[in-house]
Amino acid sequence: MKMERVINEAYEKIKLIKIQGATNIALFALQTIEAAAGKQKLSWQDIFRISKKLALARDNEPLTRNVLSMLLGDLKDDTSQPAVKKAAAYYKNLIKTNKKKMAETASALINNQGIYLSHCHSTSLEKAFITAYQQGKRFSVWQTETRPLYQGRVTAVNLFKAGIPVRLIVDDTAAWLISVYDDVADIQAVFAGADVLCRDGWVINKVGTYGLALAAHEAGIPFYVVASLLKFQNQKGSEVKIELRPTKEVWFKKPKGLKVVNLAFDKTPAKFITGLATEAGLIKPEEVYQKAKEFYPGLQDRFNES
């Protein structure tokens, strides 16, 4: 019963976005499985059941699905507590190592005296900005607040604490600041993370990303995505179902009968993406499929196939 409580509480935290960011969700899922294995002896089917519950808590989280799928592959012959602990540690380290590699790649895109716009909260993108600052580069960031849950405030606070000049803006301001007509910000590049990397180079990210990519394209400035190839999902962008969140996140006490739509993500076509900073370096959208298969040849989604 205690183990089930741990799993159910973890599921709710992921579902209700108490854990923010794809990387943090994946790390949290690994920690949860490790904790469950510490409470009682688990069979492979037990670990599969727990993994599936956590992996499918949200629709657009392939990083968690891919990592837990690989974890299950490693535990096929041994599900003892030491084996689970060792496998979980390996994938936690892989995620952290990839984040460091992505930060190094993305930091090379950040110039001294540059002015950049960032959307939502991506721990990988955040680390890239902080890495560039620690390299001695001095630049500023305009950060969207990212309604309705204000994840962008997390990025703004963390960059501020790191000493990086950052301005928080409402989401509706961003496209204008990117445009050639703006005389306030002089944005030189737009950065975003991604929750899903599709096989045709499209990316799925926090709603609002598509509009920023369009604005950057129109303004003739780069639009970069910072994301791990572990977020690869073997679907075209047009095939991916977008998660609908509860309407109360937008308007808790809306008038009865008034319809509210709360899309969690949107889709950005490959043609609007200048490049992706990944563990494979800076790649073009059309290289995503090849690089994902090259780096993770055994990648498979065990949960949506069952």
Check: CB of residue 250 under 8 Å from CB of residue 166: no
Task: Tell me the C-alpha distance between 299 and 71, whole Å.
Answer: 11
Task: Tell me the C-alpha distance between 169 and 156, whole Å.
Answer: 10
CA dihedral 118, 121, 125, 131 (to 10 degrees): 100
Catalytic-residue membership of 195: yes
Q: Is 76 left (phi over 0), alpha (psi -120 to 50) or beta?
A: alpha
Residue 16 is given by DSSP the state T
Check: CB of residue 22 under 8 Å from CB of residue 195: yes
Question: 3-class SS at 259?
Answer: coil
- List, in order, residues 6 or more apart from 219 with CB less than 8 Å away: 178, 179, 180, 187
Select which of 46, 195, 200, 301 is catalytic: 195
Omega within 30 of 0 (cis) for the link into 246: no
Q: Is 163 left (phi over 0), alpha (psi -120 to 50) or beta?
A: left
Active site residues: 195
